[in-house]
């Protein structure tokens, strides 16, 4: 059964929960707040998107593989901006309180996480407004690892998407399209994972704006995902992919693990994101089947 995406809220509704504490992330949000709707106004796609593939009887087809695409979140996990790492403190203990828990202080965009439309779209939906049909979707993996090994600024292009379709078949409408760059090999070294240079510029792979536009217009995707810190390449100063994707009421998934083990075509993912109140996103457990 097909499901229509909910419309965005009125632009007069402000998005809460986005990063407001300074640093490079808050500056990028300020830049995009002015340009976001103008850049993406022509890119929002109307119409009905299909739900995840089902068998003729209406239930999901039998799956043969399962994979966890989620990193364990700890205080050592690299953050997009230095100083935004998670903070973990003792909470209660079984000897003292009868039960165990920890106390965490996090930004919504840390670890394996979702960027909801509200992240870069002032009128966009919050993370709690994403639907099951959007969060349980076909998955397609675009492999640019060979190019990324020699070019840290590599980006998924329309040519990469067309080459993928020649090799593996058409990208499903309503899919999550995931970039595999091999960047996860660097995750234990925050500086290497961020790819920071002497000038403070980040360098890691992402999607190109043209590829994002093409996937929304031609394949009506539901989401983009990456095995890096951002769906935009690290050296982006304008965050066009975030602006286009969120402006079209789609969401992103960042810091995905283990994408090398997921088939190029034919998989599905379930994105179990924390539905923060007025959340611009949140940490997520992402599970794949095929």
Q: Is residue 8 part of a domain?
A: no
Q: Is residue 75 part of a domain?
A: yes
Q: Kindly give the confidence (pLDDT) of every residue in the chain, 290 residues in length, as a single tens digit, with 9 standing for 90 and above.
A: 433 444 444 333 333 333 333 333 333 433 333 444 344 444 343 333 344 443 333 345 566 899 999 999 999 999 999 999 999 999 999 999 999 999 999 999 999 999 999 999 999 999 999 999 999 999 999 999 999 999 999 999 999 999 999 999 999 999 999 999 999 999 999 999 999 999 999 999 999 999 999 999 999 999 999 999 999 999 999 999 999 999 999 999 999 999 999 999 999 999 999 999 999 999 999 999 99
Cα 145 versus chain centre, distance: 18
Q: Is residue 3 part of a domain?
A: no
Structural domain span for residue 168: 15-289
User: Is residue 32 within 8 Å of residue 119, measured between CB atoms?
Assistant: no
Identify the CATH number of the domain in which residue 41 sits.
Answer: 3.50.30.50
Q: Is residue 10 part of a domain?
A: no
Cα angle 76-80-81, degrees, rounded to a multiple of 5: 90
Q: Is residue 5 part of a domain?
A: no
Q: Is residue 284 part of a domain?
A: yes
What integer pLDDT is reported at residue 61 of this predicted model? 53
How far apart are the C-alpha atoms of 286 and 137, rounded to whole Å? Answer: 11
Q: Is residue 19 part of a domain?
A: yes
- What single-letter DSSP state applies at residue 53? -
CB within 8 Å of 34: residues ≥ 6 apart:
none
CB within 8 Å of 141: residues ≥ 6 apart:
178, 179, 180, 259, 262, 263, 264, 265, 267
Which stretches of 125-224 are DSSP H helices? 132-135, 145-148, 158-168, 190-194, 209-219
Q: Is residue 6 part of a domain?
A: no
Q: What is the total count of domains within the chain?
A: 1
What integer pLDDT is reported at residue 288 of this predicted model? 98
pTM passes above 0.85:
no
């Amino acid at each position: 059964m097909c499901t229509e995406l909910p419309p965005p809220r009125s632009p007069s509704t402000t998005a809460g929960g986005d990063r407001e504490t300074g640093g490079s992330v808050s500056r990028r949000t300020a830049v995009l707040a002015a340009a976001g709707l103008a850049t993406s106004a022509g890119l929002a796609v109307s119409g009905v998107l299909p739900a995840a593939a089902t068998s003729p009887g209406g239930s999901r087809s039998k799956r043969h593989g399962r994979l966890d695409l989620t990193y364990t979140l700890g205080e050592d996990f690299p953050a997009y901006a230095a100083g935004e790492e998670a903070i973990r403190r003792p909470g209660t203990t079984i000897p003292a309180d009868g039960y165990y828990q920890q106390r965490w202080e996090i930004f919504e965009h840390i670890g394996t996480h979702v960027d909801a439309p509200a992240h870069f779209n002032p009128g966009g939906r919050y993370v709690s407004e994403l639907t099951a049909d959007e969060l349980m979707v076909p998955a397609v993996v675009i492999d640019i690892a060979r190019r990324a090994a020699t070019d840290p600024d590599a980006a998924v292009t329309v040519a990469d998407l067309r080459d993928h379709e020649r090799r593996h078949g058409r990208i499903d409408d309503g899919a999550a399209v995931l970039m595999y760059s091999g960047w996860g090999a660097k995750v234990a070294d925050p500086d290497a994972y961020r790819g920071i240079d002497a000038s403070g510029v980040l360098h890691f792979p992402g999607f190109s704006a043209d590829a994002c536009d093409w996937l929304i217009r031609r394949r009506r995707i539901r989401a983009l995902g990456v095995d890096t810190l951002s769906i935009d390449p690290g050296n982006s100063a304008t965050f066009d992919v975030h602006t286009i994707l969120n402006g079209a009421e789609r969401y992103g998934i960042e810091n995905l693990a283990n994408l090398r083990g997921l088939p190029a075509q034919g998989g599905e993912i379930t994105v179990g994101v924390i539905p923060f109140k007025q959340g611009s996103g949140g940490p997520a457990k992402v599970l794949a089947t095929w």
